[in-house]
Amino acid sequence: MVSARSERAQRASPTVAITGMGIALPPRATQHELWEGFFARHFCGPTRELAQRIFANSGVTTRQAAVNPLLEDVSDWSTERRMRRYLVEALPLGKEAVGRALTDAGLSADDIGLFVVCSCTGYATPGLDILLARDLGLATGTQRMFVGHMGCYAALPGLGAATDFVTARGRPALLLCAELPGLHLQPSSARTDTQQIVAHALFSDAAVAAVVAPGATRGYAVREVVAVTDTSTADYMTWDVTDTGFRMGLSPKVPQVLASHVRGLVDDLLARHGLRTVDVDGWAVHPGGPRILNVVERELGLPAEGLAASRAVLAEHGNCSSPTVLLILDRLTRGPRPPRWTVMLAFGPGLTLYATLLQRASMA
């Protein structure tokens, strides 16, 4: 139940809301096809049996790849070659996602005051923000922000920056999360590394854009964005630039760290708005893997169906890094019963936990 004080504060505050979303996905392949057609040969000896178990228990059924390993093996490519391909593939995906988001919001490119781009899977200068601003026809006065190497949680600080801009300037902002982790398939020298096997079993490519606008009467109002970082565990999740792409480091202790922080972060966020976990009917939790979802479900005391959307996105799309939590939000809000209150949760290097509270704008 929302307190009277919280209701008054919400009515008094301007409604800054996500009013449009757009998704662009490269071609899909099933997890079985990827295993049988490529990864069964990529891993050798005793490692192959371990890898097969990890793939089978990943919670992933299908996923997307801009560069499909069934057709093109990038595992021995140099980082330079991967970065050139990143631009070739990310630009059209980003353009498609942004175009769909603007159409969904009923806006044109020259309405946008701030363009925020999140990506940790590619480097380029001029970057996606500049090249897409050119190709999409954004106004020359449009401000830009690039959020790099925050990893899987980047969508939420990106959304926070967009929301702050809209609140301060009264102009719409545009957020794009575009990731191609499939470009960072590691070479044979890394094939016995369990952390690389997990990464190869989970990650997938996607681009998702969201429009944030002032004075909205539809969509989802952004009520607050919060974070907590446990710097004592900074080496538990890494994303290192090597001569053969970016290499993931992923400690098995990550779920344990999340378990120690997620309840306090969520309870404090909800309490400031007169809410409890039972009042939240939409949960968009980044599926870093099945264990992550199980830990969040247990620590927050959620019902069995509470993370159904997160598990469905993991199964259908894999872990797409920063776009993933937006894919889950889109699934929730376009369903037959759009939630009244939604909590978005995402995790990444730091170890960092981000949470965002959304309220259906028609309630605000």
Residue 13 has pLDDT above 80, yes or no: no
For domain 4-14+218-363, give the fold. Answer: Peroxisomal Thiolase; Chain A, domain 1 (3.40.47)
pLDDT band (50, 70, 90) for residue 3: very low
Q: What pLDDT shows up at residue 201?
A: 95
- What average pLDDT does range 40-67 have in this prediction? 92
Query: Per mean pLDDT, which range of 43-52, 129-138, 325-334 is the poorest?
Result: 43-52
- What average pLDDT does range 341-348 have in this prediction? 97
Q: Domain-by-domain residue ranges, the chain?
A: 4-14+218-363, 20-214
- What average pLDDT does range 330-347 have in this prediction? 95
Region of 58 on the Ramachandran plot (φ > 0 left; ψ -120 to 50 alpha; else beta): alpha
% pLDDT > 90, the chain: 87
Residue 143 has pLDDT above 80, yes or no: yes
- What average pLDDT does range 125-133 have in this prediction? 95
Q: What pLDDT shows up at residue 9?
A: 37
pLDDT in tens, 208-266: 999 999 988 889 999 999 999 999 999 999 999 999 999 999 889 999 999 999 999 99
Closest CA to 330 of 24, 68, 89, 35: 24
Choice among 118, 152, 177, 320 that is catalytic: 152
Class of domain 20-214: alpha beta
Query: What would the DSSP string read from start to end of 279-333?
Result: G--EEEE--SSHHHHHHHHHHHT--TTTTHHHHHHHHHH-B-STTHHHHHHHHHH
Q: What pLDDT shows up at residue 190?
A: 63
* Identical topology for domains 4-14+218-363 and 20-214: yes
% pLDDT > 70, the chain: 95
- Return d(Cα 353, Cα 349) in angstroms, integer: 9
Q: What pLDDT shows up at residue 11?
A: 38
Per-residue CA distances from 250 to 36, 65, 184, 348 (Å): 25, 21, 15, 10
Q: What pLDDT shows up at residue 216?
A: 81
Residue 12 has pLDDT above 50, yes or no: no
Closest CA to 360 of 224, 172, 222, 161: 222
pLDDT in tens, 148-204: 989 999 999 999 999 999 999 999 999 999 999 999 999 976 667 888 899 999 999
Q: Give the pTM.
A: 0.94
Q: Mean pLDDT, the chain, as a whole number?
A: 93
Q: What pLDDT shows up at residue 14?
A: 63
Active site residue 152: yes
Would you say 111 and 170 are in contact if contact means Cβ atoms under 8 Å apart?
no
